[in-house]
């Protein structure tokens, strides 16, 4: 990876001037910090950042500079990255399944909050100090997300109630955490989860210290920016309605919505015909999520001469650069009819997972990271 020190104003001018052959990630620190401040100002509780979405040290440092003081970590490596960016940060280790070595690493890193979704994982945490916060991971069959995190993690409401009782019986501080699913566009999903969390706490006879409403906050993939403030309002109102005077403190852990808009990805068209395009990145790189979520509706195509392609769109297959026939998007994508070899496909809102999921399969995976200056007023 080559990190540029110059601060160009926009991807287009840099691409035309430099004509890179590798994929390029354009990073906007000002956009990232503005999004962090939006969460801090609007969410009615503690804002943590889900490091898995983008663990780049520059991202973590900019979030810390914007006032994010807590991080959701899923591994010892993420703990180290968060500590390097913010030595005094609060760490929440909410990956609910851990090895003994990972638990030891969490203790050494001073993790403040842990999660579990089964009794056997709670048993592993017997070494923790009394009154340590243990958040029970709740799952529900709630629609509205691009894909469901409950397929791997979480306890059903009755199981969650039993776990809460066990948490208290062992001298820990009880909380609940949930995740409505990535790119969740239905604010009512949070309300349903909050109501179920209250019901589980009541069934357990437990007063929750905190309620972590997860991530799931949507990024702008279509050109219509999600109304985060409306989601925050639903979360606050649903918590008051469900818990009344015993409302727990709220926590959120945005990942995608925090970082997506801060990065734009540019890909080079290696080949083009009436049927398909071959790009210099694919599912083994920054486009891994496009297999499940599609590319969104904000793509634009820039010619080497610097003008945007504007011919009527036509559906084309999209292949990645590797020799693997699986390296393709499952469905055709609409691209300008005049797209040509050497063009760049410019993809906004790619700050989440586009870098974190990159592999070096077939010798690909190298990319440039270019920091952009603030947009002109």
Q: Given CA atoms 167, 172, 174, 176 in this order, what sign does their dihedral have?
A: negative
Angle 167-172-177 from CA coordinates, rounded to 5°: 65
**Residue 127 annotated as catalytic:** no
- CA dist., res. 334 & res. 106, Å (int): 46
Q: What are phi and psi of 18, to 5 degrees?
A: -95, -25
Q: Rounded to a whole number, what is the distance in angstroms from the first to the last CA of the chain?
A: 31
Give the CA radius of gyration of the chain. Answer: 22
Pair 39, 59: CB distance under 8 Å: no
Pairing of strands 46-47, 24-27: unpaired
Sheet containing 249-252: order of strands: 46-47, 249-252, 210-212, 173-178, 133-138, 113-116, 90-93, 70-73, 49-50
Neighbours of 54 (CB within 10 A): 28
Secondary structure (3-state) at 224? coil
- Of these residues, 127, 184, 252, 323, which one is catalytic? 323
Give the residue numbers annotated as catalytic, written as ranges.
Answer: 323
């Amino acid at each position: 990876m080559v990190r540029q020190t110059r601060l160009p104003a926009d991807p287009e001018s840099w691409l035309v001037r430099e004509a890179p052959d590798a994929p390029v990630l354009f990073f906007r620190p000002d956009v990232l910090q503005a999004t962090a401040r939006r969460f801090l100002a609007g969410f009615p509780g503690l804002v943590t950042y889900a490091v898995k979405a983008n663990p780049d040290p520059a991202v973590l440092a900019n979030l810390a500079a914007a006032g994010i003081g807590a991080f959701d970590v899923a591994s010892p490596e993420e703990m180290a990255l968060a500590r390097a960016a913010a030595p005094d940060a609060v760490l929440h280790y909410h990956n609910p399944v851990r090895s003994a070595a990972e638990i030891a690493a969490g203790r050494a890193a001073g993790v403040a909050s842990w999660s579990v979704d089964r009794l056997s994982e709670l048993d592993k945490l017997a070494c923790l100090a009394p009154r340590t916060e243990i958040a029970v991971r709740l799952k529900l069959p709630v629609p509205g997300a691009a894909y469901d995190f409950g397929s791997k993690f979480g306890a059903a409401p009755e199981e969650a109630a039993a776990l809460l009782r066990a948490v208290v019986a062992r001298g820990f501080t009880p909380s609940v955490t949930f995740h409505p699913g990535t790119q969740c566009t239905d604010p009512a999903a949070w309300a349903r989860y909050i109501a179920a969390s209250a019901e589980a706490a009541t069934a357990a006879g437990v007063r929750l210290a905190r309620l972590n409403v997860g991530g799931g906050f949507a990024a702008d993939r279509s050109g219509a920016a999600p109304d985060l403030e409306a989601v925050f309002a639903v979360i606050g109102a649903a918590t008051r309605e469900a818990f009344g005077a015993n409302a727990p403190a709220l926590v959120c852990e945005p990942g995608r919505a925090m970082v997506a808009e801060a990065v734009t990805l540019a890909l080079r068209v290696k080949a083009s015909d009436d049927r398909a395009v071959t790009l210099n990145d694919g599912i083994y790189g920054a486009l891994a999520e496009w297999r499940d979520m599609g590319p969104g509706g904000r793509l634009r195509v820039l010619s080497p001469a610097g003008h945007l392609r504007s011919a009527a769109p036509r559906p084309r297959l999209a292949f990645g650069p590797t020799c693997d026939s699986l390296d393709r998007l499952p469905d055709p994508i609409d691209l300008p009819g005049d797209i040509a070899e050497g063009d760049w496909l410019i993809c906004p809102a790619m700050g989440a997972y586009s870098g974190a999921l990159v592999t070096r399969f077939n010798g690909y995976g190298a990319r440039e990271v270019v920091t952009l200056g603030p947009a002109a007023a």
